[in-house]
Amino acid sequence: MCNHQHPTSKLTILQFREKLAKYFYQCGREELQPERPRTPKRYHTHTVGENENKKRRKCVGCYKLLRRTMNSREADNKVKKVYTHCKECAGKPAYCLISVSTMTDRPAIKFCIVVRRGPSCFRDTQNSTTSGPSSAWPNSSGTPKPK
């Protein structure tokens, strides 16, 4: 085949195979693109903002916590309804600020809280006789704390 293209040069089959192998080896090297620099991992940042249409939704974090000790109907009745939600998550799940601040499943997450009004989850607990916003959460036995 090579002798048909260049009749003056006589190559043996072995020389032709070596030349062909070198050609393909060099072609493969030239076509490879330089390795791209690796992009750093992007950590998900929860940005909690106020709901645009002023519709209250059930807090996902509180529901998960209540669901550990109650059935779905009881948890659905007792879960907090809030105006705040995560702008970046798929489906924009609702979160109260207590749930956002106590998320422990991903400790590397940075939380950026942007709320125009005061946090809705603290409004009920400020007037109560118990101290702190944690009074709305059940204790370790699973029963609600007395107010």
The secondary structure of residue 90, as a DSSP letter, is T
**In the predicted structure, residue 1 carries a pLDDT above the cut 70:** no
- The phi, psi pair for 137, rounded to 5°, reads -90, 150
**Residue 146 structure tokens:** 């007395």
Query: In whole angstroms, what is the distance from residue 122 CA to residue 132 CA?
Result: 9
Q: What is the pLDDT of residues 60-91, one digit of tens each?
A: 889 988 999 999 999 999 998 888 877 777 78
Phi-psi region of 9 (alpha: psi -120 to 50; beta: other; left: phi over 0): beta
Q: What is the pLDDT of residues 88-134, one digit of tens each?
A: 777 888 888 787 777 645 443 344 444 344 444 443 344 444 444 44
pTM value surpassing 0.75: no
